Structure 1
Amino acid sequence: MKRILFFLVMVFFFSCEIEPEFDLLILNGTVYDGSLNEPQKIDIGIRGDFIVKVGELSGYQAVKSIDAKGLAVAPGFIDLHAHLEPIFELSDCESHIRQGVTTSLGGPDGNGPTPFGIYVDSLKQLGVGMNVGFLVGHNSIRSQVMNLDNRKPTDEELEEMKALVAKAMEEGAFGISTGLKYLPGSFSEVSEVIELSKEASKRGGIYTSHLRDEGLEVLASVSEALTISEKATIPVVLTHHKVIGKPMWGMSNKTLAMVDQARAKGLDIMMDQYPYNASYTGISVLIPSWARAGGNKEFIQRLDNPKLRDSIKNGIIFNILNDRGGDDLDRIQFAKVSWMPELEGKTLKFWTELRGLQPTLENGADLVIEAQIKGGASCIFHAMDEKDVVNIMKHPQTMIASDGRLVKLGDGHPHPRWYGTFPRVLGEYVRERSVLTLQEAIHKMTLLPANVMGLEDRGHIVEGKKADLTIFDPKTVIDKATFETPHQYSEGILYVLINGKLAVEEGVFYPIKSGEVLLKK
């Protein structure tokens, strides 16, 4: 009996001695901590979902180890502008996680989930692949209260909208988003947006805006956003900041100067950007807003009036020449066309020729009207200048964000940013073109957006922070998705940890759903 007892005691002490200190050790990597500090060759020890030790850890034991020699170790990337609408069907979030993204903010461009509390509770029950938070959407709330009416709200309607914003903020929204280019936000005056933004500001929220115009009126639109920041006392993000249309190319110098001047006055103004010179939205963006008031049924009714139809057509031609159309039918590329899938990937010029028409602006405008009558289409608009893209990217207040939608391989002909935003910056703009240093790029993807969202426990490799990490090969990381063949995952993203769990290991994706639904504290 004594021998048995002695044996059991020895087993107990022996097991205590060999119990590993960490669940996971990341060894020999070059660590970019998310700040602008120089990288360090240090190790990271993880227990549970936290980083518990950073330093020289070669003498420690772990359940699992990763040899990151020759690799860059960064905080998980934070996407401040993500279209998460398909998340209930694509809850594993593969297309984002494979880019190194561990946290995304949904509800941009005025299209936030509603009712907010019910939505996030349902998502918690489902489980998600990456961490997700959401904004309350101005367009969603306005359409709920006022439909698509082209008018000012009554006092009662404004109070109802304010109450809906306040409720969403109390239920965990990170702020309010607007899409002032889109219906019904385009019908709102700045005073309405200020009043709603005040409700978000009271509860520590941010304001992100798809500006009222990113083309000929971009300066006035930036000025409007700065006014909202000042009057509502709220941090502002000029989301997917860009300059659209040939007449305005080069104007980023002025928009960035406006941001600098506002910040010098004490306003909290930031920007985010995707690294492409083409945008993505509905073909309806080419149609004047007034023509679409009330919805597609009323749009079609207006076309029966010859004078209104001519006015609508002239507005489309103007926008093709000066705005999203890029002055060329060949710069308008179909992405998602439910009523004619064979158009996906093809251009408006191709469609005119397919119909036996000359590729004139007039014929192109007629087909835009036809497309809208049939239910609309999503398009890629090649109407930006690369010099503006670089200029905006280099600004210290610019963060990297995808404006990408969760996507299933082979579904439609999407913008390549849905697959490649973050690796493209690291490969094209850091390694190949030296637009940014690697630590600058990582800072714009991690600590900078974490600070904007108020995520104190993410975006920084420091002891006590959440173990959201992305490990990549700086020599090979690159996007593969193109405008011609968009359904391609990026290369060089080798490991992605979300709350301490490996969602990508040696380049292989695992749908473990270790993400959290984040609520504004």
Structure 2
Amino acid sequence: MHNFRKTNTRPYLDSLKKIGVGLCLLFIFSCGGTKNYDLLILNGTVYDGSGNTPIMADIAIKDSMIVMIGNLDDAIATQTIDAQGLAVAPGFIDMHTHLEPIMELSSCESHVRQGVTTALGGPDGGSPWPLGSFMDSLEAKGIGMNVAYLVGHNTIRRNIMGLENRTPTPTEQRAMEAQVDSAMQAGAYGISTGLKYLPGTFSNVEEVIALSKVASKYGGIYTSHLREEGLGLFDAVAEAIQISEQADIPVVLTHHKAIGKPMWGKSSRTLSMVDSARARGLDIKMDQYPYTASYTGISVIIPSWSMAGGLEAFEKRVSDPILRDSIRNGIVFNILNDRGGSDLNRIQFAKVEWQPELEGKTLKYWVEQKGLEPTVENGAELVIEAQLNGGAACVFHAMAEEDVTRIMQHPQTMIGSDGRLVEPGMGHPHPRWYGTFSRVLGHYVREKKTLSLQEAIRKMTLLPAQTLGLTDRGQIKENMKADMVIFNPETVIDKATFEKPHQYPEGIPFVIVNGNLTVDNGTFVDARSGKVLRKQ
């Protein structure tokens, strides 16, 4: 029989428990007290997008989301940005973007370098078709920024009616409405019109209202290149307001302007019309690019009736001396009173596939190159020749600075580049393709004091996000998507000019798309972290 001695083990057990608890607490504080983040932005001046006064704060990002804002001195992350002396803002949302080359330029570098993290495509009545399958293909390819789309009225009308100058039959109207419905179900954010362009110019307001009602049913918006932006501007704004009222749909007067010398200064009246409509409860906004020149096809100064039926029909009309004389007179009128700015030097060729050496040159230059007197009549004849050759894209220097400033200062004006994705060497583009957002920040905020910095940022971020119904973007808040731009408010500036447009802006060292650095200390990173956004 073994004789065991009883021993009191309680003190030893208590000691072990104390040691275990201490080790656990040490583990908790060492591993859990300072969280691991993907990206930290420290010491920045944070503009949250609301228009409020900025604050000094740190921001933590994890898994594409903003997860913490405050003092994060003790936090650790895979990457850290010291934003001392820099402005930290939500990524800019471009309300008017020509995304047509996105399959070829899917990195979206020319936009991302401006601080744009989300772009709205399908403007001016033109959009991909079928929209749903196109967006599927875009998702599969991968893109450098977030994109959303409108369905284009011109695209829909061309699908059903071609370029015919008439009202649709009831069957055709129903077919167009069905296509709008299909696009909205696929995730479109609304409908756009280009009522100055073919074939939208042939539509009446009843047709547009009926199509807009379909978009409204899904909570969409209506954006419009107005029927006229020159002498007919007031009637065109009234038409857009009528569409808002009768279709029960928010309206954006896109790239709002007053074009042509007779209309300079008249934006005061169009803004009063917007204010009056809003006072009646209508949701009317605008977007704008910060330049006194527009960019579009040279056909915009050709009477639209002459182009019904397409190029072949146009060729027949200009071969008839009487019709040609009427067409030429219409072009002369538009040069003097509309986009021509009353001067052949104000029409600058941008993309001319049939004679690339004209790119960057003016209509006056071409007239003189032909050995002709630089008269408006001779300019009109060469406009006809250009259209017969297949058309050309032009920059039209025909707006007044006072209107640009007045429209920009309106509280319901957003910023939209009306820019096309581009890379250096592609034609002679409008400088807005490279410089819209940095021009607002550098020229209009810092140099001209047209806007405060926080108000300019609101126009580029929260206001467009609210317009589109984007509840997780457009503002720096916890649990929002980490789309951000970090820039130097003392140096940010556009470099692209009308003479040398292929230049990226300066003063934007960091851009973040869905939590991923796409511009890192001034170097573009082809991260393809953008998303195709679909309206839910």
TM beyond 0.5: yes
2:16 alignment partner in structure 1: none
Residue 483 (structure 2) pairs with residue 468 (structure 1): yes
Unmatched 5+ stretches in structure 2: 1-19
1:150 alignment partner in structure 2: 165
2:119 alignment partner in structure 1: 104
Letter in 2 for 1:78: I
Which runs of structure 2 are paired with 1:233-382 in the superposition (5 Å)? 233-382=248-397
2:181 alignment partner in structure 1: 166
**SS of the residue 2:509 aligns to:** strand
2:70 alignment partner in structure 1: 55
Q: Where do 4+ consecutive residues of structure 1 move more than 6 Å?
A: 9-15
Which runs of structure 2 are paired with 1:373-452 in the superposition (5 Å)? 373-452=388-467
1:134 maps to which of 149, 161, 166: 149
CA contact (8 A) 1:209 1:237 kept: yes
CA contact (8 A) 2:145 2:531 kept: yes
CA contact (8 A) 1:20 1:63 kept: no
Task: Kindly state the Cα deviation for residue 113 of structure 1 after the two structures are TM-superposed.
Answer: 1.3
What is the alpha-carbon distance in structure 1 between the residues aligned to residue 245 and residue 142 of structure 2? Answer: 38
**SS of the residue 1:493 aligns to:** coil
What is the alpha-carbon distance in structure 2 between the residues aligned to residue 13 and residue 143 of structure 1? Answer: 65
CA contact (8 A) 1:399 1:449 kept: yes
1:214 maps to which of 220, 223, 229: 229
What is the percentage of aligned positions where both structures have the same residue? 67
Greater shift after overlay, 412-421 or 111-120? 111-120
2:8 alignment partner in structure 1: none
Letter in 1 for 2:525: Y
Q: Deviations over 1:448-473 (max 9, x none)?
A: 00000100000000000000000000
How many residue pairs were aligned?
514
Task: Kindly state the Cα deviation for residue 16 of structure 1 after the two structures are TM-superposed.
Answer: 3.9
Q: TM-score, normalised by structure 1?
A: 0.97
Letter in 2 for 1:103: T
What is the alpha-carbon distance in structure 2 between the residues aligned to residue 384 and residue 70 of structure 1? Answer: 36
What is the alpha-carbon distance in structure 2 between the residues aligned to residue 240 and residue 304 of structure 1? Answer: 35
CA contact (8 A) 2:37 2:78 kept: yes
Task: Kindly state the Cα deviation for residue 21 of structure 1 after the two structures are TM-superposed.
Answer: 2.7
What is the alpha-carbon distance in structure 1 between the residues aligned to residue 165 and residue 413 of structure 2? Answer: 34
Task: Kindly state the Cα deviation for residue 333 of structure 1 after the two structures are TM-superposed.
Answer: 0.1
Q: TM-score, normalised by structure 2?
A: 0.94
2:128 maps to which of 94, 105, 113: 113
What is the alpha-carbon distance in structure 2 between the residues aligned to residue 118 and residue 62 of structure 1? Answer: 38
What is the alpha-carbon distance in structure 2 between the residues aligned to residue 57 and residue 280 of structure 1? Answer: 46
What is the alpha-carbon distance in structure 2 between the residues aligned to residue 411 and residue 46 of structure 1? Answer: 36
Task: Kindly state the Cα deviation for residue 14 of structure 1 after the two structures are TM-superposed.
Answer: 9.8
What is the alpha-carbon distance in structure 1 between the residues aligned to residue 27 and residue 410 of structure 2? Answer: 58
Q: Deviations over 1:12-68 (max 9, x none)?
A: 989845974311110000000000110000111111100001111112111211100
Unmatched 5+ stretches in structure 1: 1-5
CA contact (8 A) 2:34 2:74 kept: no
Larger Rg: 2
**SS of the residue 1:448 aligns to:** helix
Q: CA RMSD in A?
A: 1.4
CA contact (8 A) 2:34 2:75 kept: no
CA contact (8 A) 1:345 1:484 kept: yes
Residue 224 (structure 2) pairs with residue 224 (structure 1): no
Q: Deviations over 1:74-121 (max 9, x none)?
A: 000000100000000000000000000000000000001110111101
